[in-house]
Amino acid sequence: MEIVFSVADLKQIENLKSRYPETKAAVMPVLWLAQKKFGWISDDVKKLVADTLKLPYSHVHGVVSFYTMYYKKPMGKYHIQVCTNVSCMINGGEDTLKFLNSELGITNNECTADGKFSLEEVECMGACGEAPMVAINQDFYESTDKSKILSILNSLE
């Protein structure tokens, strides 16, 4: 796959840049757009974003390496994130992670052989009152348990 932004992407990037007082501030939403387009943030994608925004590569790399929301390697079609921070841990987050390890046959930051699922242990996702929390791509599930997780997994194509 060629790592380039389309004309429509560039138009969207201009729109994003217009929302900020300086271009540098648009790096996060542009990286998000790039991740949606390419699936993850490779070195080539970081270079493309840096060149497009006329920013140093080191700045873009620093943002990508700091935030866990940017994937540093290819992830599954369904990227599952399990919170194991304090509230989630107390309410079963670690058990949820172990259950998914067993159910999917993968561990933290791995992807199933068919590329359907990837799994990641994460810190607080802000749902302490409804722990344990699981996110699958952009969908968030609170108060999860084994049967709820199995139901969700079975509903995914």
CATH 1.10.10 fits 7-66, yes or no: yes
pLDDT digits (tens, 9 = 90+) for 99-137: 999 999 999 999 999 999 999 999 888 889 999 999 999
pLDDT, position 1: 74
Give the mean pLDDT of 72-94. Answer: 94
Residues of the chain with CATH 1.10.10: 7-66
pLDDT, position 67: 87
Residues of the chain with CATH 3.40.30.10: 78-155
Phi (first) and psi of residue 19, to 5 degrees: -85, -10
Phi (first) and psi of residue 93, to 5 degrees: -60, -40
Task: Record the pTM.
Answer: 0.79
CATH for 78-155?
3.40.30.10
pLDDT digits (tens, 9 = 90+) for 64-81: 999 878 999 999 999 999
pLDDT, position 113: 95
Identify whether the C-beta of residue 52 lies closer than 8 Å to the C-beta of residue 24: no
Distances, alpha carbon 33 to alpha carbons 13, 17, 30, 87, 157, in Å: 8, 12, 5, 31, 24
**Residue 7 — pLDDT band, cuts 50, 70, 90?**
very high
pLDDT, position 112: 96
